[in-house]
Amino acid sequence: MTLDNELTVTLKALTHPTRREILDLLKDGPKTTGYLDDQFTDISRYAVMKHLTQLKDANLVLVRREGRSRVNYLNAVPIQQMYDRWMNKYQSKHASSLLFLKSTLERGTNEMENQGYKHDSFQIEQEVRIQAPIEQVFKSLTENIDSWWAYRLCGEGSTLSFEPEVGGRFLERGASGEAGALWGTITYINAPYEIRLNGLLGMQGAVNSAYSYKLREEGEEGEETTLSLSHHASGLLDPEWHAAHDGGWKELLGTFLKNYVEKGKTYSEQQK
């Protein structure tokens, strides 16, 4: 499916007020299908399910099975793609979400507690469709990650490397050689279909954080790939981290990775 076709499907899904209301409910966090059905007393369950199916077909809602429940997650990547098409060229450069976190996270645990940090958890589920074979997307996630991963913790001129093996590191090295940051450690890999990592991704302190990529071939000849992201974090969290990382992943995968794979543009070329 071309980007124009994806945008057509997204726009069509957003035309109905009930579907927009469903997305508004999911903006605050994942909801079970039963919960969503209870919010619409003026229409039938069948109608709610039909609207959910249309949102799922438009890739705006991701459905995950948790026990006996169907849990629905907002996937804002298609909306981000609409924004990128018509708005980005009119925008000045903006600070990245995760780099903004860096300045707010450089403080001790006691101060973090005093600043409103609390024991909590969040989960992010996103999908992006990329017009390229699965092997090409996997290569970009591993061998070519320095070309499109826009967020840096070690300053301008730093480089990123990815060791695609169990125990391998997703590592950033500063230009001077003095600074370094570990973005993740690989806990499972099945090329070219899945990668799982543990990593704080800009967070610090008493936090457990794990994220994974799953790749699925699409199209009759495998010319398209669906990339699914899952990110779970728990511990002493800043209330803003969930939204910051959700927005950061949208930009990284839905904009920088997608444009790198499909158009060959590095993140620095995309920010000009």
- Spell out the domains of the chain, with CATH numbers in brackets: 3-74 (1.10.10.10), 81-270 (3.30.530.20)
> What are the angstrom distances between the C-alpha of 141 and each of 186, 196, 211, 214?
12, 12, 13, 11
Chain centre to alpha carbon of residue 200: 15
pLDDT in tens for each of the 272 residues of the chain? 666 778 888 889 999 999 999 999 998 889 999 999 999 999 999 999 999 999 999 989 998 888 888 899 998 888 877 777 765 544 444 444 444 454 544 444 455 554 677 888 999 999 999 999 999 999 999 999 999 999 998 888 899 999 999 999 999 999 887 789 999 999 999 999 999 999 999 888 788 899 999 999 998 888 999 999 999 999 888 888 999 999 999 999 999 999 999 999 999 888 76
Cα distance between residue 159 and residue 180, in whole Å: 10
Which single residue is written with the structure tokens 């909306």?
79
Nearest to 165 by CA among 133, 134, 137, 197: 197
